Structures are given as C-alpha cells and as structure tokens.
Structure 1
Amino acid sequence: MTTNATTIASRLPLIAPELLRGLVPTMLINLLCAVVVTYLMRIGAGFVENLVFSMCIGTTAMVLIDCGRIFLWGKDEPNKPGFFLMLLIFAPLSFFIGNAIASALIGRPIEWFTLSQANNTIGIIVLILLVCVGATLFYWNREKMAALEARNVIIEKQAVQAQLQMLQAQIEPHMLFNTLATLQTLISTEPIRAQQMLDQLIHYLRATLSTSRSTQTSLGQEFELTKAYLGLMSLRMGLRLTYSLQLPDELKPTPIAPMLLQPLVENAIRHGLEPKVEGGDCTVRVNVHDGMLIVSVFDTGMGLSTTTSYNKPESIHLGLENIRARLDALYGPLAELTLTHNIPQGTVAQITIPLTALDPNPTR
C-alpha cells in the first residue's frame, strides 16, 4: 500500500504538463464534434448549445483519460487492452459528467438517460468513444515520434563526441614539430632552458591525454590545459609572448565539452602572435552575462583579414566551422562562436553558451 501511494504521489507532478499539452488539440476536437453533432447528426437545439456540451464532455474525457493513464502507467507506454478497457469505462462516464456540467452552465435541468433520448445518447457516446480512440492513437504516435527524435539527438551527439575524441587524439603538428625543433637547438646551447621546455611539454601532453579520454570536462580543467600550452609557448617564444588567464573560482566546476577553448588559443598563437615580429599578449577570460556563459580569447597579434569571412556559414576556416558544428549539436542554436577585431590591435574569439544548456552528461 505504501509503495502504491508513493508511486501515485511521484506521478502527480506529471498531470498538469500533460493536461496543458493536450488542451489545444482537445479544444479543436470538441469544436469538430459540435459541428458534426449540429450539422450532420442534427442533434440539439443549436450550434452554441452543442458547443458548450461538446467542450464540457470532451474536456472531461481528456482529464479522466490522461489522469487515469498517468496514475496507472506514468511515463511508460500503457498496456493496450487495459487502456482500451479504460476508454470503454471513461467514455460514457465523461458523457454523463460533462452533460451535468454543461446543463448547469446553460441553466437548464439535467436530463439523464431517457428512452426518448436513447438513440441520440448512444450516438453521442459512440462518437465520443471514436474521438477518444482517434486522439489516443494520435498521441501514441506523437510520443513515439518524440522518442525517436530524442534518440536521434542522442545518436548525433554521440557521433559528435566520437569525432571530438578523434580530434583530441591528434596533437597539433605545427606546435609539436616547432617545439621539438626548438628543443633540438636549445639542448646544445641552453640545456637548462631545454630541460624546462621538455618538462613543460610533458606536462602539456599529460594534460592533453587526460582530456582526450573524457567526453566532458570542466572550465577549471580546460584552463589547466590552456595554462600548460601557453607555458610551453612562452618558453619557445620567450619575451615575445605574455599571457593572462582569468577564470572566477565559482565558474571552475562549470561543465563544458573539451577542446572548445584549446583550438581558439592555438589559433591566437599560430595566426596572430607567432607571425608578429614583436609578438604580443594572449588573454583568456570567462564570465557570465544575461544567462550566457562567455569564453573569450583576446590577442594583440596580426588581426583579422579584411577580405576574409570568419563569422558566416560559408567560412573557409574548417577549424572554426568544426567548433560551430559542435556547439550547435551539443548546446543548441543559441550557442555560437564569433570573431571580431580587438581594439587597438589583434583578434577576439568568443564562445557564448546558454547556462541552461550546460549538462554534466551531454550524451545522456
């Protein structure tokens, strides 16, 4: 008894959303029934009166059937024989309850089942039963389509995660080869600095390997990886590179997909600061504004080309389009990546993600 009471209590919150979701379709079905009863079956005193009765009877049927379905089966698919038996009981019951409510609303005496009304009453009950069955089949198919759509979304996200893991397994060749070449030069000329660079490279590779084995990370972990990468780059570029990492403590546990920030920092170094003779500064900053998580990478490098598209779907930059595709698949259309000019010089790459879309288990 306690288990049944607990089960019913846990299903109570499901009732209101289900009733609200079925309200508009039910109103349309009730309107159609009023038209059929008035102009095809030619029953009742007129359309307005029949509409009142149809609304009361149809809405009562919806409430009884939805509540019965939720109490008996919850979110599970109903047992078909049991469900149709429930329809056979609730269809005539809905007629009598709705009839009483409608009679009270229009101020006329309640007329129960009399011999003179038998044919009309039976006809209306059969009509209600058919409508209930039709509506039930409609909702059944709608639920199955929704389940299939949800499954497709999960499959799509899993495919994106598989592509992401392949991407994570690849160390950026340009950075790695240049670092090894620098190490080869420093071993004979500056062995202490070479040792520091080797230690930093090992630290970076360990951080990258750890990230590549997960489908979800946190901003704190992503910043540790970014710090290792920028530390390695600063040893290689020397005084030509300065950097700053700005992540509030309260945002460190925030879940995020891996390898969203890292490519933007690599782009800032490779395309912005490395080609510049005097180098420059790279700043990575995270903040929250109007329900959006904003991750920004500022550099004072070469800046954006004035003849190239960076923020349009037809952008030729495959790395940027890869990030945009992953953002859309993982966090929805409101998540975006934009590139703008940094004032007075350089580039700003910015990712915005709705806080409501940040799920600790994105593939669930």
Structure 2
Amino acid sequence: MIAAARWLWPPGAPSWRALPEAIMRAVMFGLVAALPLSFVFSPPSTWRFFWLDPTGWFLQAITFGVILSVSFYVACGLPVSYLLQSRTASARPSFVIAVAIVGAAFGTITSLALFRLSRGAVTPGLTRLVVVAAVLAVILTLTLTAWYRLQADKAVADARARNWALQAQINPHFFFNTLNTIAAQIRPNPDAAERMLGLLADMSRYSLSTDESHVVPLRDELDFALAYLEIERERFGQRLSWVLPDAHVVEGLSLPALTLQPLVENAVRHGVARRVEGGTIAIRVERSATEFTLTVTNPIDEMPDRNDLFRPGHALWNTRERLRLTYGKQITLDMVTCEPNTLTARIHARVAS
C-alpha cells in the first residue's frame, strides 16, 4: 500500500527522460484522488447528484482531479523541485516561496482555461475550488520542501558521522603501527628511534591540524606520505625505496586531507613488507587542464582477491568511503593491475578551478 502510494506521488526534479513518466504519475494521482476529493470539496447539498448520476459525477471528478493535479504539478511542484536541486536558492527560502506562489497562480490560470475548454463555462463555485486547490498546492509544496530539506540535512549529518568514524579508524591504525616500529628500534638503534619520533611528531601535527573533509595542496599530502616512508625506511632499510613526482607536476593540485598516506601504507604493508627483496613504491601524477590521476604502485608476489582489497574496516575501504561520502563521484578510488606483479591504487579527481 505504501509502495503504491509512493509510486503514485509525482517525483520531484525528474530528468528530462523521466519527465513523461512523472507527468503520467501526476495524471494517475489525479485519477485516484478524484473521487474522495470530490466529496471533500463539494457542498453536502450537492452530494445527492452522485446517487442520481454516479457516472457523470465520477467523470466530472476525474476531469477536475487530472486537470488540477497536472496543472499544479507542472506549474508549481516541478519549478520548486528543480530550483532546490540546482542549489541556487538553498539559502533563500523567500525565493522558493515566491516561485511556489507564482507557479500556483500560473496553475490556477491554466486550470481555469482547461476547464473552460472542457465545460464551455466556468462557474464561481468552480473558480473558488481552483483557488482553494492553488492554496493547498502552495502549502503542500512548501511543506514537502521543508521535509526534503530536513531529510537532506539528516543525510549530510549521517554522512559526516560515518566520515568521522572512518577517520577515527584510520588514525589510530597508523599511529599504533608507527609506535610499534619505533619500539622495535629503541634498543638496537636509539638514534633512529629518536629520528622516527621526530617524524611521528611532525605527522601527528599535520594529522591533528587538518580536517579530513578539507582539501589541501597535494604537495602537503606528499610531504606527509614521505615522512611515513622515512619512518618505515628505518624498519626495512634498503628493502624499501620510493619514487615521487616532480614538484612542478603537482603544482596547483589539491586532494582531501589524509587521503594519500593510507594508500602508501597499504602499499608498504601488503606489498613491500611481504617480499624478501622488498621493492619500490612509485607515486605518480598525470594531469590535464581539468583533471588529474594520482597512482600509488607497489610490487606484489601474489595478486590478492579483489574483494579482499576493499574489506570493510580496512584502510582502502575506509579511504574510499570517506571520499564517497564527502565528494560523491567527483573523486574516485580504485585498484588496478597495469603491469605483472604490481598493484596500483588510483585516485581520479578534478583540477580545482
């Protein structure tokens, strides 16, 4: 029952391809609502005509219902929904109200014109009925607008809460892994442990001073990843090496904070660390005037199952979820195998204008 009611209710801001179906749903809504609404808006003194000529009453009610439903949906509901979707007036409710009122006025004129064509004349009672319908259309449109905004705000709040939870999983994971690396070096190499503590302090300062939803220069993300690699170099020695992009290549590019380091950590932990001979982490950037691709490539002996790469709770999954929740399809993260025995994490993003 609820599913049927949702289908009958005309959608807001449909695409041009879906517009005919949306208008047809407005017609269906008018057909279904016609008979009960005909009794609501007709004076009780006229109800006897229903028993005298039920077919005529029903046909007249259908005509009224369809004309009013389609007229006010097209003239009032659609403009407001498209306006809200464009976000040009998201902070100006007064503009939305004005559009709803103007649309209702246009719907009133259209409805009266269609009634005149279908009936040949428009009575004062019919005019009052159309005006009441226009007022209800404005009230309903604004009520639904407020409800949709509340739902949108709730969705944003839920996304932020999930984003913070994912970030809370990433930071402790990195922090404790690094502390374990430092602890292993305290006795055999105290100088290296001291240097690693200094690098960890720099990284912690960056991590705590940036919001994961903020966009930062890619140069800063590379410096953060480099500090991490320097820490891991103390553990792996010459088994770990890396290649970074030239400074001029990344000039002017930006990325959400704390995005690159989890990819580099994944390349070290699940690539280089598992190979006796180690390997090289290659961070590369390819760019055009409007977009760029950042890749982190590591050698690997055995290709993992693709489903294991993005297991919930792991660094790659957390990072991809953060990007999806905050930026949608504007920034994407996937894993590819461009060469044999290599695995590449690839981020595709737009160049900020």
Q: Please name the residue that 2:109 is paired with.
A: 94
Identify the match of residue 204 of structure 2 among 205, 208, 228: 208
Deviations 1:286-315 (A, max 9, x none): 335796653321012434335x73356xx3
Q: 2:298–2:343: 8 Å Cα contact kept in structure 1?
A: yes
Q: Give ranges in structure 1 of 5+ residues lacking alignment.
A: 1-16, 112-116, 188-193, 360-364
Q: 2:240–2:278: 8 Å Cα contact kept in structure 1?
A: yes
Deviations 1:10-35 (A, max 9, x none): xxxxxxx99x99x9878976898899
Deviations 1:47-96 (A, max 9, x none): 8xx99xx69x9479947xx89xx9xxx9326999x999x79x95898379
Query: What does 1:86-235 correspond to in 2, within 5 Å?
Result: 90=105, 94=109, 98=113, 120-167=122-169, 169-170=171-172, 171-187=174-190, 194=191, 198-199=194-195, 201-215=197-211, 216-218=214-216, 219-235=218-234
Q: Please name the residue that 2:92 is paired with.
A: 75
Q: Please name the residue that 1:12 is paired with.
A: none
> C-alpha distance in 2, partners of 1:275/1:321?
21
Q: Give ranges in structure 2 of 5+ residues lacking alignment.
A: 1-11, 39-54, 84-90
Q: 1:168–1:259: 8 Å Cα contact kept in structure 2?
A: no
> C-alpha distance in 1, partners of 2:27/2:240?
71
> C-alpha distance in 2, partners of 1:274/1:91?
69
> C-alpha distance in 2, partners of 1:257/1:128?
52
> C-alpha distance in 2, partners of 1:92/1:275?
69
> C-alpha distance in 1, partners of 2:274/2:111?
83
TM-score by length of 1: 0.62
Q: Please name the residue that 1:238 is paired with.
A: 237
- In structure 2, relative to structure 1, the CA distance for the partners of 1:235 and 1:318 (3 Å cut) is closer
* Aligned-partner SS, 2:280: strand
- In structure 2, relative to structure 1, the CA distance for the partners of 1:165 and 1:343 (3 Å cut) is closer
The amino acid of 1:265's aligned partner reads V
> C-alpha distance in 2, partners of 1:300/1:61?
58
Larger deviation: 274-283 or 247-256?
247-256
- In structure 2, relative to structure 1, the CA distance for the partners of 1:40 and 1:75 (3 Å cut) is farther
Q: Please name the residue that 2:283 is paired with.
A: 284
Q: Please name the residue that 1:8 is paired with.
A: none
The amino acid of 1:136's aligned partner reads V
Q: 1:240–1:280: 8 Å Cα contact kept in structure 2?
A: yes
* Aligned-partner SS, 1:297: strand
Identify the match of residue 316 of structure 2 among 320, 331, 348: 320
- In structure 2, relative to structure 1, the CA distance for the partners of 1:186 and 1:287 (3 Å cut) is same
- In structure 2, relative to structure 1, the CA distance for the partners of 1:203 and 1:34 (3 Å cut) is closer
> C-alpha distance in 1, partners of 2:23/2:177?
62
Residue identity (%): 19
> C-alpha distance in 2, partners of 1:238/1:34?
76
Q: 1:91–1:125: 8 Å Cα contact kept in structure 2?
A: no
